[in-house]
Amino acid sequence: MNTLTLVAIAMWMCALALMLVSYRRQDGSTEMGLYISLGYLAAMVPRALCAVFMASFATELLPGDLISGWLGSESGIKGILIASVAGILVPAGGVVAFPLALAMIKLGVGVPQLTAFLTSWEVFAIHRILAWEIPFLGLNFVGLRVSSSFMLPPLAGIFAATIIALLNI
Amino acid sequence: MADEQDNKKKYLNLLKQSFGPSLIIFALLAIGAGLAVYHFEGSSSYDRAIADALELLAFIAPRIGAAVIIAAFLQILIPREVISRLIGEKAGIKSVFMATVAGSLTPGGPLTSFPVVIALYAAGANKGALVAYITSWAMIGIQRIIVWELPLLGPDITFIRVSASMLLPIIAGILALYIPIRITLTKPPEFK
């Protein structure tokens, strides 16, 4: 049995344990939880379907040699910096970013570069700043957050490269 | 159980939104990409892409059920008050650290996390803690890791990325303490 199967089994055990905890509370939280789960499922399935097809079409369409050249594990700091900028340009949630990340792995993007890319998307996702952060928290907060976080994506990439080197993965 | 009614209404809205124009645009983009592959790369590339996608779907499908259950029940079982209490009114770097832990444990999307920031501000949390909280939620939020990262990217890459990112919210929070930008947060516009 490979690790990925083990992870899937662990996820189901985790899910069952959480359901058991809520069931023992006897406060209607089990029903509520299942209700929300169904809502999530209905919201996710059509998006996940689109995302998966999108990712594999993207793998065919994107210029693989160019991307693995720019962002491959040999690309070092320069690749990490390029990936950090690229992450800002993904104006969508996890449903787009993670399939894209998967396509990038298939195209040979290095893990440190991928880490920088995902971190940059997580910190600077432009749609979240526009739709949530500015209306809720205001421009000053965005300014404070961006000025204290702009160097995090390259740092994440460098840390990832260090971890890979240390653990010999 | 006004709270429950409230929750139900919220999720009906969520459901309505999730089948809105953004899904149609997304589906059209996917179809467009498929046509582009067929047109520019030929039918063998197209067949390969479809086969790849189906294989990936077969891989994800059994995991999605567990993922949504975990996400939903975490959200119910960890109430917002617990998260606010975790940060409390601790000062300085200690609050930055607690906020990082709390941010990672906050389940749910922006709809849950941004109101927490306002509640924390109202409870007297400093700006470093607020920045650390939102950064941690975005970077090492447990729910996104479980729902998206683990199933799609696998445990090895997830492990490397998460361990590389664990200290970063603390760094951002400490920096934010020293950056001279004033923040004043007010009650948000009601979410409809």
Instruction: Please report the pLDDT score of residue B88 as a whole number.
Output: 64
pLDDT of residue B18: 65
CB contact under 8 A, A14 and B173: no
Q: Answer whether B154 touches A (CB < 8 Å).
A: yes
* B20-68 residue pLDDT tens: 777 788 888 889 999 999 999 899 999 999 998 998 888 888 888 888 8
B48 touches chain A (CB under 8 A): yes
Indicate the SS3 state at residue A72. strand
Average confidence score pLDDT of chain B: 82
What pLDDT, in 10s, does the model give residues A35-86? Answer: 888 887 887 788 788 888 888 898 888 888 888 899 998 899 999 999 999 9
Residue B13 to residue B30: CA distance in whole angstroms: 25
pLDDT over threshold 50, residue B1: no
Q: Alpha-carbon distance B135 to A145, whole Å?
A: 8
Show which of residues 56-85 on chain B sit within 8 Å of chain A, judged by CB atoms. Answer: 56-57, 59-60, 62-77
C-alpha dihedral, A77 to A112 to A52 to B45, nearest 10° = 60
What integer pLDDT is reported at residue B17 of this predicted model? 61
Taken in order B116, B147, A83, A60, the sign of the CA dihedral is negative
Query: What is the overall mean pLDDT for chain A?
Result: 88
Considering chain B, what percentage of its residues have pLDDT values greater than 70? 85
Closest-CA distance, B184 to chain A, in angstroms, reads 8
Cross-strand pairs, A72: A109
Within an 8 Å CB–CB cutoff, is residue B24 touching chain A? no
Average pLDDT over residues B90-97: 82
Question: Other C-beta atoms within 10 Å of A6: how many?
Answer: 11
Closest CA to B73 of A30, A139, A53: A30
Could you give phi then psi for residue B168, rounded to 5 degrees? Answer: -65, -40
Residues 6 or more apart in contact with residue A146 via CB below 8 angstroms: A124
Under 8 Å between Cβ of B169 and B140:
yes
Q: Using a CB-CB distance cutoff of 8 angstroms, which residues of chain A are in contact with residue B151? A: 7-8, 11
pLDDT tens column, B134-150: 999 999 998 788 777 87
Dump pLDDT digits (tens) for B103-142: 998 877 777 788 888 888 887 788 999 999 999 999 999 8
Chain CA centroid to CA A68, Å: 19
* pLDDT score, position B39: 93
Contact A37, A46 (CB under 8 A): no
pLDDT, tens only, A99-130: 889 889 889 999 999 999 999 999 998 888 98
Collect all residues of chain A within an 8 Å Cβ-Cβ radius of residue B127: 144
Token couple for A91: 């104006």
Test the B interface: residue of A35, A60, A130, A168 with most B CBs within 10 Å: A60
User: CB of B1 within 8 Å of any CB in chain A?
Assistant: yes
> Torsion angle, CA of A78/A79/A85/A90, rounded to 10 degrees?
180
Taking an 8 Å cut-off on Cβ atoms, the answer to whether B18 and A42 are in contact is yes
B21 in A contact zone (CB under 8 Å)? no
> Among A22, A96, A24, which Cα is nearest to B70's?
A22
- B94 interfaces chain A, CB cutoff of 8 Å: no
